[in-house]
Amino acid sequence: MRYFYAPDVHPMHQLDAEESKHMVRVLRASVGDEFLLIDGRGGRYHGTLHQLDKRQCVLQTQLIERVPAPEVELTLVIAPTKSTDRFEWMLEKAMEYGVRRIQPVWTTRSERSKEKRERWNRILVSALKQSQQLWLTELMPAMSWEEYLTLAQGPGFIAHCEVGEKQHFFEVMNPGESCWVAIGPEGDFTPDEIANAKKTGATEVSLGAQRLRTETAGLAAIQMFALAQRSPLT
Ligand code: SAH
């Protein structure tokens, strides 16, 4: 069944002009056709096409289930890469893996500082539908690394390639505990940025012997976190 995303689903749900046009022109839907609606906040609805109009379609909806967000969540704090494509690819994959929150940060060595919130959100929504999940990865407004450090909550980890005493992220994170992990830009975090993170209580970590690109490092951290949630019980 076809998925629709709508952040607020109403019992008589009106699709916007773009979705309505899609319904009529592309899907060639008929009154009575059935759909699934997801609100990205755990709600899954059944929808029946009630009114067909290329400017405004109406779906009659009914809640099927509301699934709570996983209790243990990862916030991926990451410096957007110079290449938009690479960053957007990372967003799509992060959503597929179901990461709870992404916090873009600008750092000293960031090679770009243009936030594309709408476009990035569209990519996340499309990956949400494609991967048929119920919780949309939350995209936080971009901010500077220093500002993030003043707001950061809970246990945090900073992954970097500078020399120093680092343990592997997989080894030091606590399964069952929400945390954030920060990934730097192409040129890495500066020693000052690392020192400031440590002052706020963050732990320096390694992601392994290889130097990964920013977007790869982000995905690697997400996978390590996801795997850790299953250990040591399964
Ligand atoms: N230019 C740097 C590499 C930066 S890699 C150098 O040559 O040393 C970009 C980001 O990915 C880093 O800031 C870090 O957060 C993360 N990263 C990549 N590989 C890593 C690894 N093996 N351990 C820890 N962090 C890593």
Query: Could you report the per-residue pLDDT of 54-76, keeping only the tens digit for each?
Result: 899 999 999 999 999 989 999 99
Reported pTM: 0.93
Cα(96)–Cα(37) distance, integer angstroms: 18
187 CA closest ligand 1 atom index: 1
The finding on whether 189 has its CB within 6 A of some atom of ligand 1 is yes
Interval between CA 50 and ligand 1 midpoint (Å): 53
Domains by residue range for the chain, with CATH: 3-66 (2.40.240.20), 74-229 (3.40.1280.10)
The finding on whether 78 has its CB within 6 A of some atom of ligand 1 is no
209 CA closest ligand 1 atom index: 22
pLDDT at 225 over 50: yes
Interval between CA 109 and ligand 1 midpoint (Å): 12
Query: Could you report the per-residue pLDDT of 145-154, keeping only the tens digit for each?
Result: 999 999 999 9
- For the record, the structure tokens of 140 come out as 């936080």
Pocket test for ligand 1, best of 76, 183, 206, 211 (most atoms within 8 A of CB): 211
Q: What angle do CA 44, 72, 39 make, to 5 degrees?
A: 20
Cα(98)–Cα(187) distance, integer angstroms: 27
Query: Could you report the per-residue pLDDT of 115-136, keeping only the tens digit for each?
Result: 999 999 999 999 999 999 999 9
Query: Could you report the per-residue pLDDT of 9-48, keeping only the tens digit for each?
Result: 999 999 989 889 989 999 999 999 999 999 999 999 999 9
pLDDT at 233 over 50: no
Confidence grade of residue 231 (pLDDT, cut at 50, 70, 90) = low
The finding on whether 157 has its CB within 6 A of some atom of ligand 1 is no
Query: Could you report the per-residue pLDDT of 154-169, keeping only the tens digit for each?
Result: 999 999 999 988 999 9
The residue ranges of DSSP E strands in the chain, in sequence order, are 3-5, 12-14, 34-38, 43-51, 58-66, 74-78, 101-106, 138-139, 143-144, 156-159, 167-168, 179-183, 203-206
The finding on whether 152 has its CB within 6 A of some atom of ligand 1 is no
* Distance set, CA 87 to CA 83, 92, 125 (Å): 7, 9, 15
208 CA closest ligand 1 atom index: 22
Note the pLDDT of residue 193.
98
